[in-house]
Amino acid sequence: MTQEKLEIFKYLEGWAEENMLTFLKKVEDSWQPQDFLPDATSKCFTDEVKDIRARSEGLPDEYYVCLVGNMITEEALPTYQSFLNSLNGTHDETGDSMKSWARWTRSWTAEENRHGDLLNKYLYLTGRLNMKQIEKTIHYLISSGMNMQAENSPYLGFIYTSFQERATFISHGNTARMAKVHGDVTLAKICGTIAADEKRHEMAYTKVVEKLFAVDPNTTMVSLADMMRKRITMPAALLYDGQDNNLFNHYSAVAQRIGVYTTKDYGDILEFFLERWGVGEITGLSADGREAQEYVCGLAERIRKLEERTQKWSGSKCSQMMPFSWIFNREVEV
Ligand SMILES: [Fe+2]
Ligand SMILES: [Fe+2]
């Protein structure tokens, strides 16, 4: 990041105050995990837990694999806050900086913190899961960290977070729909509420990228192409439970098969953002910017073709059963 680029983010601090921080909810107006959980101080507590357990019987193992994977991804929140604080020009310089970028990062983290907390507690109460294995996986994942390949650049960083928030919005939205189909309306409400947060965060990050396209179209275009060439890696890519060296791929394969998050979604997200940011219509670019624009505008189509080929291939391949430690090594088709 050159001094000139750092100046852009300094200049945008006031803009972020008025256009980004406004997407956050006040603590007093926010939902908390306890709103969706049995009250441990109430006489009805054990009955309510029994209800959760009864409803959980209707949900298949493959669904639990996806939901647990999503919950573990949320629980690795320290990694994502570290990531945001690695970005030059927008990081929290003191830990309690009053600059708008830093305030966003802390409040965003506080909002996100409820996601893993709520899912973790609810899943624990179902009594169907190997919590020790799940906790070990969280421990491993936070210890491993994650390189989002943003190279300390807020241009790359905010493109990454836009994608991630939309991906989680889609994924939690799908687990909500499936919970409803399987008869657990409380779980559907939980996943739906989390999905709504992700949507709000997506809107904030996409607004930042939209602004970056307006003030510095060339760097933003080159950054978008750069991020897409590297591919947006999922934050749980280093998933490990102490047993399965290929756990992320196995979890992703289940998510793909039952439709919680698919390669088609990845292409759709790119297409959505190309439209949202009007990427094809941006003018005034230099040669490298135009080359980047051409690349990203053609990419959605290439991803779609690749996806169709993968679909055909997976339709013809033999299914394989994999044990997942999170569900006591019961086997699920991947
Ligand atoms: Fe989240
Ligand atoms: Fe999120």
Any known ligand binding at 93?
A: no
What are 104-127's pLDDT values in tens digits?
999 999 999 999 999 999 999 999
Separation CA 130–CA 123 (nearest Å): 10
Separation CA 139–CA 130 (nearest Å): 14
Q: Is the pTM of this model over 0.75?
A: yes
Q: Annotated catalytic, 201?
A: yes
Any known ligand binding at 294?
A: no
What are 71-103's pLDDT values in tens digits?
999 999 999 999 999 999 999 999 999 999 999
What are 146-160's pLDDT values in tens digits?
999 999 999 999 999
Contact 125, 38 (CB under 8 A): yes
Count of other CB atoms within 10 angstroms of residue 97 = 14
Spot the catalytic one: 62, 73, 74, 265: 74
Q: Annotated catalytic, 198?
A: yes
Q: Annotated catalytic, 4?
A: no
- Structural Rg of the chain based on CA atoms: 21
What tokens does 80 get? 């994502």
Q: Please tell me the total number of residues recorded for the chain in this structure.
A: 334
What are 244-275's pLDDT values in tens digits?
999 999 999 999 999 999 999 999 999 999 99
What value does the mean pLDDT take over residues 199-215? 98
Give residue 312's pLDDT.
78
What value does the mean pLDDT take over residues 189-216? 98
What tokens does 43 get? 């006489």
Any known ligand binding at 172?
A: no
Contact 91, 102 (CB under 8 A): yes
- Binning pLDDT at 50, 70 and 90, where does residue 309 land? confident
